[in-house]
């Protein structure tokens, strides 16, 4: 058994809505997850499933209103600094002490997230001086050191360059340097490599892994690329229509997935290695409208195994192991149909104890 | 994937030493496509991969005459289309025979047109179908073919999701019953589950309508899945070309090897044991490139001759060609 790591973030039953002119969009509909120190949690899902809203809520970056935290709590703990706080209760002013210093974030598009009118060095120095009492020269020294650390050649010269003179990969490295400038304990990464070429993506992922090991940070990684998940994550949460429909350790999700949506997701990725089956599994249809989310399971309308109960009642969380749970009626003890995942690429069906696992409903 | 018997089939498109330069002024010239030659046989899918800025999109656009080539020959169905005038091309009905599917399903559909008008525009221009009514029937059939409904013909593009829009783009490209379609990153803007739907559809259509594709993409997994042969580009030149399985399983150009190693695979155990030799640096600018192998500056095996002599595509067995002085075996 691994040593119990320190818990950084504990999200409980979080609900976030956007009040728009057309009505209420229930973007996040009651999610629970945790993040420990030195761990990478990957949140995967299609666009519009609420994954970005979730981490933006933890950073409190959503404009409120229209965003409203309807319920739940986000507890952030840092025993070294003696912090234990419910993020949802903070106001914007209080939140400023956490943003950048305790949490920081790298975005998908490094061009629009850096200030085009200011040299990159200055942007890093600004962040450092905002949160520490360092002088300009000390902050500059730190900034140059950071720029070197993220693998930019000739960091002194980079310090006085503007973002537009750099390539996408270089800008993303600057973003990472900026995010690390105040030594945060959690790094949020919202599709940090989606806009990059594979070779550069590989370099950036490698850099993030090195930094994580060095600083023992927690990383919450948002992506829709399952290959990136396999390379980076320790744990995975699969989101669909504002809910986490399955969550578990990396290998549990890839080799023993339990939710039909996860099966579809894994089956729809074309493989780089030679694969036997020729046709990609695809999920018919599109995600539900979150203006009026369905009463039952959000995936029911697209699910090939949909039962009557799925349409009328929301499935609870069924735990398969201590770390693995899924929200699906198929896992209920009273469900008579035992369905094995379709034969797909990463979906392992053969040897495992599929079909005989014991599920138990989580008590809330 | 099509049968390997495709090798015996006629050559639909023969690209010989095609060049496309963009003048940037101040004596600068961007060598987007520099002396590229390849062939596409009828019924075959050729994948074209490479990092952004390597010129792969320019190749696709030059083939369908969205750009005029600056040199070389593009022999389509036995005729060189590069020296043709606009009128000649029209006479040859090239626009009918060659079509393109674009990357961005938001930017490539005219927001003022209904979906029916978008798909039917080509039919109208080429005067296919006796009257409006018949053309509308054809549009309905096309919509059905790409998995949309009749009722969608009267809607505007903004009423559709990204995946549906991409289907409209595909229906438009199919309207004139083309022989050859360039798919320029046709699925990269879509979510994985929708991407799988569209890829499956493209494969089905290829079989049903006897189409030939050039698939331009940066996603190497998609290209492996959909293509029969694959060409790898670096800074405006081809570095490797061959049958998909051959190139992916036994890559010989150091760049192809680096590119394949960089792709994360959705299999945690495989990823854990994988040894990744990181390719250093980034792609260089194709403005006034220096002589010799363009990959030499990033290549771990670069020797002296690499920086002076440009390597030519040479066969390393059968259909597999590599442009490298020291191919990795």
Comparing A215-219, A352-356, B217-221, B309-313, the range with the smallest average pLDDT is A352-356
Mean pLDDT of B135-145: 91
- Give the nearest chain A residue to B244 (CA atoms): A274
Q: Which residue of B has its CA nearest to A262?
A: B193
- Tell me the per-residue pLDDT of B48-100, one tens digit each, with 9 for 90 and over: 998 888 888 899 999 988 898 998 999 998 889 888 888 888 888 888 899 99
Residues in chain B within 8 Å Cβ distance of A284: 197
Question: Tens digits of per-residue pLDDT, A149-182?
Answer: 888 888 888 899 998 888 888 888 898 888 888 8
Residue B252 lies in a domain: yes
Q: Are residues A217 and A287 in the same domain?
A: no
User: Is pLDDT larger for residue A100 or for residue B233?
Assistant: B233
Residue B4: inside a domain, yes or no? no
Domain boundary among A211, A238, A265: A238
Domain that holds residue A278: 252-364
Q: List beta partners, residue B287.
A: B30
- Interval A304-359: pLDDT, tens: 888 888 888 888 888 888 889 988 888 887 776 666 666 444 444 333 333 334 44
Specify the number of domains making up chain B. 1
Residue A225 in this model has a pLDDT that exceeds 60 = yes
Is there a single domain that holds both residue A159 and residue A301?
no
A352 close contact with B: CB closer than 8 A: no
Has residue A364 been placed in a domain?
A: yes
> Above 0.85 for ipTM, yes or no?
no
Chain B: residue whose CA lies nearest to A48: B191
Q: Evaluate whether residue B81 is within a structural domain.
A: yes
At A344 the pLDDT is 46
> A348 CB near a chain B CB, below 8 Å?
no
- CB spacing of B263 vs A227 below 8 angstroms: yes
What phi and psi values does residue A25 have, to the nearest 5 degrees? Answer: -100, 115
Q: Give the residue from chain A lying closest to B271, CA to CA.
A: A231
Asked whether residue A55 falls in the same domain as residue A151, the answer is: yes
A127 assigned to some structural domain: yes
Q: Are A261 and A299 in contact (CB under 8 A)?
A: yes
Domain membership of residue A135 (yes or no) is yes
Q: Is the pLDDT of residue B279 over 80?
A: no
Q: Which of A209, A238, A267 is the endpoint of a domain?
A: A238
Chain pair A-B, CB pairs under 8 angstroms: 130
Q: Are residues A289 and A262 in the same domain?
A: yes
B329 within some domain: no
Structural domain including B45 reads 10-322
Task: Identify whether A28 is part of a domain.
Answer: no
Taking only residues 231 to 270 of chain A, the set having a beta carbon closer than 8 angstroms to any beta carbon of chain B reads 231, 250-251, 254-255, 264-270
Do A271 and B265 make contact, defined as CB atoms within 8 angstroms? yes
Token pair in block for residue B65: 């005459």
CATH number assigned to the domain comprising residue B230: 3.40.50.300
> Is residue A199 domain-shared with residue A123, that is, in the same domain?
yes
Q: How far apart are CA A352 and CA A350, in angstroms?
A: 6
Q: Which of A216, A238, A260 is at the close of a domain? A: A238
Does any domain span residue B305?
yes
- Whether residue B5 lies inside any domain: the answer is no
Q: Are residues A166 and A105 in the same domain?
A: yes
Does A109 share its domain with A230?
yes
| Residue A276 in contact with partner chain B when CB distance is under 8 A | no
Cβ atoms of B237 and B294 closer than 8 Å? yes
Residues of A in contact with B278 (CB under 8 A): 202-203, 206
Q: d(Cα B4, Cα B8) in Å, to the nearest integer?
A: 9
Q: pLDDT tens, B104-138?
A: 888 889 999 999 999 999 898 888 888 888 999 99
Q: How confident is the model at residue A277 (pLDDT cuts 50, 70, 90)?
A: low
Q: ∠ at Cα A171 (A37, B282), nearest 5°?
A: 105
B61 CA: distance to closest CA in chain A (Å): 21
For residue A186, give how far its alpha carbon lies from the nearest alpha carbon of chain B (Å).
23
CB-nearest to A199 from B51, B199, B219 is B51
Within-domain flag for B68: yes
End-to-end CA distance of chain B: 26
Which stretches of B136-222 are assigned E, i.e. beta strand?
A: 180-184, 212-216
- Helices vs. strands in chain B: H and E counts, helices first: 11, 12
Whether residue A213 contacts residue A21, with contact meaning beta carbons closer than 8 Å, is answered with no
* Residue with tokens 């990969």, as numbered in its chain: A169
Residue A28, pLDDT > 60, answer yes
Tokens of B280: 């250093």
Are B193 and A225 in contact (CB < 8 Å)? no
pLDDT value of residue B103: 84
Chain B: residue nearest A199 by CA? B262
First-to-last alpha carbon distance for chain A, in angstroms, is 26
Q: How far is A65 from chain B (nearest CA, A)?
A: 26
CATH assignment at residue A215: 3.40.50.300
Same domain, A283 and A337: yes
Who among A198, A254, A284 is closest to B263 (CB)? A198
Question: What pLDDT is attached to residue B8?
Answer: 57
- Rounded CA separation B20/B72 (Å): 9
| A276 found inside a domain | yes
Q: Is B35 helix (H, G, I), strand (E, B) or coil?
A: strand
Distance, CA of A92 to CA of A64 (rounded, Å): 10
With 90 as the cut, is the pLDDT of residue A247 above it?
A: yes
In-domain check, residue A3: no
- Counted domains in chain A: 2
3-class SS at B231? strand
Assess whether A129 and A218 both reside in one domain.
yes
**Is the Cβ of A153 closer than 8 Å to some Cβ of chain B?**
no
Is residue A19 one of the residues assigned to a domain? Answer: no
Does any domain span residue B328? no
Residue among B3, B193, B254, B299 with most chain A CBs within 10 A, to mutate: B193
Q: Are residues A50 and A166 in the same domain?
A: yes
Instruction: Confirm whether A322 is domain-assigned.
Output: yes
């Amino acid at each position: 058994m691994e040593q119990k790591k320190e818990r950084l973030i504990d999200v409980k039953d979080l609900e976030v809505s956007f009040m728009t002119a057309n009505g209420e969009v229930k973007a996040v509909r009651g999610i629970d997850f945790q993040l420990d120190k030195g761990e990478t949690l990957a949140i995967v899902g299609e666009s519009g499933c609420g994954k970005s809203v979730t981490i933006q809520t933890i950073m409190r970056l959503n404009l409120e209103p229209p965003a409203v935290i309807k319920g739940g709590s986000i507890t952030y703990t840092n025993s070294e600094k003696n912090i234990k706080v419910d993020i949802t209760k903070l106001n914007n002013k209080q939140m400023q002490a956490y943003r950048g210093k305790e949490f920081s974030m790298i975005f998908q598009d490094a061009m629009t997230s850096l200030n085009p009118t200011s040299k990159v060095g200055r942007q890093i120095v600004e962040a450092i001086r905002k949160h520490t009492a360092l002088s300009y020269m000390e902050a500059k020294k730190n900034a140059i050191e950071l720029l070197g650390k993220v693998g930019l050649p000739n960091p002194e010269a980079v310090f006085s360059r503007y973002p537009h003179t750099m390539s996408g990969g270089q800008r993303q490295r600057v973003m990472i340097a900026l995010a690390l400038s105040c030594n945060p304990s959690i790094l949020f990464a919202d599709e940090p490599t989606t806009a990059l070429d594979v070779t550069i993506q590989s370099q950036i992922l490698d850099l993030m892994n090195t930094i994580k090991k060095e600083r023992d940070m927690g990383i919450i990684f948002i992506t829709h690329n399952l290959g990136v998940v396999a390379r980076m994550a320790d744990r995975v949460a699969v989101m669909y229509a504002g809910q986490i429909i399955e969550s578990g350790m990396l290998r549990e999700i890839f080799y023993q997935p339990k939710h039909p949506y996860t099966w579809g997701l894994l089956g729809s990725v074309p493989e780089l290695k030679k694969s036997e089956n020729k046709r990609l599994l695809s999920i018919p249809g599109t995600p539900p409208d979150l203006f009026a989310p369905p009463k039952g399971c959000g995936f029911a309308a697209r699910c090939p195994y949909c039962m009557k109960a799925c349409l009328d009642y929301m499935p609870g969380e069924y735990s398969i192991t201590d770390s693995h749970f899924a929200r699906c009626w198929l896992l209920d003890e009273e469900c008579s149909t035992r369905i094995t995942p379709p034969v797909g690429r990463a979906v392992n069906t053969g040897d495992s104890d599929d079909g005989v696992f014991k599920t138990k409903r989580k008590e809330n | 994937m099509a049968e390997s018997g495709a090798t015996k089939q006629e050559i639909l498109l023969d690209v010989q030493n095609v060049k496309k330069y963009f003048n940037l002024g101040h004596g600068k010239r961007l060598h987007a496509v520099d002396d590229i030659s390849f062939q596409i046989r009828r019924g075959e899918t050729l994948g074209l991969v490479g990092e952004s800025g390597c010129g792969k999109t320019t190749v696709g656009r030059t083939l369908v005459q969205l750009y005029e080539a600056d040199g070389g020959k593009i022999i389509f169905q036995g005729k060189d289309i590069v020296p043709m005038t606009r009128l000649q091309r029209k006479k040859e009905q090239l626009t009918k025979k060659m079509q393109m599917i674009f990357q961005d399903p938001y930017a490539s559909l005219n927001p003022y047109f209904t979906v029916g008008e978008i798909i039917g525009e080509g039919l109208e221009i080429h005067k296919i179908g006796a009257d409006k009514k018949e053309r509308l029937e054809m549009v309905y059939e096309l919509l059905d073919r790409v998995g949309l409904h009749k009722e969608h013909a009267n809607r505007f593009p903004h009423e559709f999701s990204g995946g549906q829009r991409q289907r409209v783009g595909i229906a438009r490209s199919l309207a004139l019953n083309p022989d050859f379609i360039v798919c320029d990153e046709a699925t990269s803007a879509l979510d994985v589950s929708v991407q799988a739907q569209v890829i499956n559809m493209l494969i089905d259509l290829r079989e049903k309508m006897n189409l030939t594709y050039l698939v331009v993409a940066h996603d190497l997994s998609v290209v492996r899945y959909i293509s029969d042969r694959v060409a790898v580009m670096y800074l405006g030149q081809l570095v490797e070309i061959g049958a998909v399985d051959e190139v992916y399983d036994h890559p010989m150009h150091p760049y192809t090897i680096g590119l394949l190693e960089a792709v994360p695979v959705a299999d945690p155990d495989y990823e854990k044991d994988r040894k990744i030799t990181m390719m250093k640096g980034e792609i260089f600018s194709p403005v006034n490139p220096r002589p010799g192998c363009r990959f030499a500056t990033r290549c771990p095996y670069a020797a002296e001759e690499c920086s002076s002599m440009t390597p030519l595509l040479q066969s390393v067995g059968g259909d597999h060609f590599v442009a490298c002085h020291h191919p990795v075996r």
